[in-house]
Amino acid sequence: MKKYRVVFYFLFFFFHVSLFTFSLYIESHEADFNYLLKLQGYIGYMKYGTLLGLILVTIDYFMDKVELGKLNKKIDAMTDEINGWKAKLYDRQEKVKLANQTKGKVQDRPEGMSGSSK
């Protein structure tokens, strides 16, 4: 895994741990109604947190798409190379077959009949 990918996943992990910790903190104060009313003033900031989450997911999607494109190009290049080697092997096999058939025709003739008239 490349370094930028590790850093990105670390940020993504930190984001989720922060959300989980925040939700546990809010849950521990659910009985304190005054505290919850005080938090209501900060609910507007949650949209920025969700926007950050959406941005991180979008970045991850495009990073995967770019990496998949690079891998597909490598696969296509390797497939073309394999097909080239297969074609060369086939050509060589055909040359050997043709050479063997030519030798077989020459050897199949009886000895007194070489094709030249003496």
Q: Is residue 117 pLDDT above 80, yes or no?
A: no
Q: Is residue 44 pLDDT above 50, yes or no?
A: yes
Alpha-carbon dihedral angle through residues 48, 52, 53, 56, given to the nearest 10 degrees: 170
How does residue 107 score in pLDDT terms, banded at 50, 70 and 90? low
How far apart (Å, rounded) are the C-alpha atoms in residues 53 and 47? Answer: 10
Q: Give tens-digit pLDDT for 47-98.
A: 888 899 899 999 999 999 999 999 999 999 999 999 999 999 999 999 998 8
**Contact between residue 40 and residue 3 where contact means Cβ atoms under 8 Å apart:** no
Report the chain's C-alpha Rg in angstroms: 36
Nearest to 16 by CA among 39, 50, 48, 63: 50
Q: Is the dihedral of CA 26, 32, 35, 36 positive or negative?
A: positive
Angle in degrees, CA 61, 54, 18, rounded to 5: 115
Q: For the chain, what are the domain ranges?
A: 3-107
| H or E stretch at 109 | none
Q: Would you state the pLDDT for residue 83?
A: 96
Q: Would you state the pLDDT for residue 118?
A: 45
